[in-house]
Amino acid sequence: MSTTPRQDLLQAFDTLLQPARFKDYGPNGLQVEGKPEVGKIVSGVTASLALIEAAVAAQADAIFVHHGLFWRGQDGRVTGWMKQRLALLLAHDINLYAYHLPLDAHPELGNNAQLGVQLGLAATGRFGEHDLGFLGGRTDGGQFANAGALAAHVKKVLNRPVTQAGPAQAAIKNIAWCTGGAQGYFEAAIVAGADAFITGEISEPQAHYAREMGVAFIACGHHASERYGAPAVAAHVARQLGLAHQFIDIDNPA
Ligand SMILES: [Zn+2]
């Protein structure tokens, strides 16, 4: 198995995901500098201590995640969980690459596109800020008999309980989705013409919007909705550069 310079790997991720196009909640790209040459990438959803430990055990030279370590609003102190995660990364000289919104948005390999693949949905349009929302329908052109049938389908595919709000009877043809904590995209999905909206999380207002606007809202879990983009991108880039890649899912009930 070959290796590639840390900067070339960064370049490959940047070329694919184009982070400069996004105004994000944290820095995209190389968040923690490790060894100069990378032979093996471990991908995961979140740069948690458990993922870093698993990457160490897997002898990774780089970790590629959707949720990195640094976010707007943090106070910048390296204490507690931050100290533990950073200490382990630095002790093993592991590079940490993190891409947030650019990883949600990529039209074929991103979280939204890959969740669509899992659910058998194809996008015909995009909506919302940064065009992060995907709008389309079933790949086979069919429709769901009602929101309950769609919710049951999502639950079965993701193997995760879902929360459903809004109309229960109407057939569902136009389906909008946006992974993670995208409950704030619900109103844009309604305007875009969705019969149902799927995201990871629900907050209190969305159930009312769903009932009042007649559009179903399905929350399937933040983590569960974002398990597919990081491995798709990391596998693609690893193949491109002749590197080893392994996806490690650290289960999360959220
Ligand atoms: Zn997320």
Instruction: State the burial class of residue 221 (Cβ atoms within 10 Å of its Cβ: 0-12, 13-18, 19+).
Output: buried
Q: Which residues contact 127 (CB under 8 A, 6 or more apart)?
A: 133, 135, 176, 185, 188, 189, 191, 192
Question: 91-146: per-residue pLDDT in tens?
Answer: 999 999 999 999 999 999 999 999 999 999 999 999 999 999 999 999 999 999 99
Q: How far is the CA of 56 from the centre of ligand 1 (A)?
A: 23
User: Measured in angstroms, how far is the CA atom of residue 180 from the centroid of ligand 1?
Assistant: 4
pLDDT category at 176 given cuts 50, 70, 90 is very high
The two structure tokens encoding residue 184: 């704030």
Q: What is the pLDDT of residue 121?
A: 98
pLDDT at 130: 93
Cα-to-centroid distance, 1 and ligand 1 (Å): 32
Distance 227 CA to ligand 1 centre (A): 10
CA 140 / ligand 1 centre spacing (Å): 28
Q: How far is the CA of 121 from the centre of ligand 1 (A)?
A: 20
Distance 105 CA to ligand 1 centre (A): 12
> Residue 85: which pLDDT band, with cuts at 50, 70 and 90?
very high
- 35-79, pLDDT tens digit by residue? 999 999 999 999 999 999 999 999 999 999 999 999 999 999 999
Contacts for 61 with CB less than 8 Å, ≥ 6 apart: 3, 34, 35, 37, 38, 39, 40, 41, 93, 94, 95
- pTM metric for this prediction: 0.96
Confidence (pLDDT) at 139: 97
**pLDDT band at residue 33 using 50, 70 and 90 as cut-offs:** very high
- What value does the mean pLDDT take over residues 190-218? 97
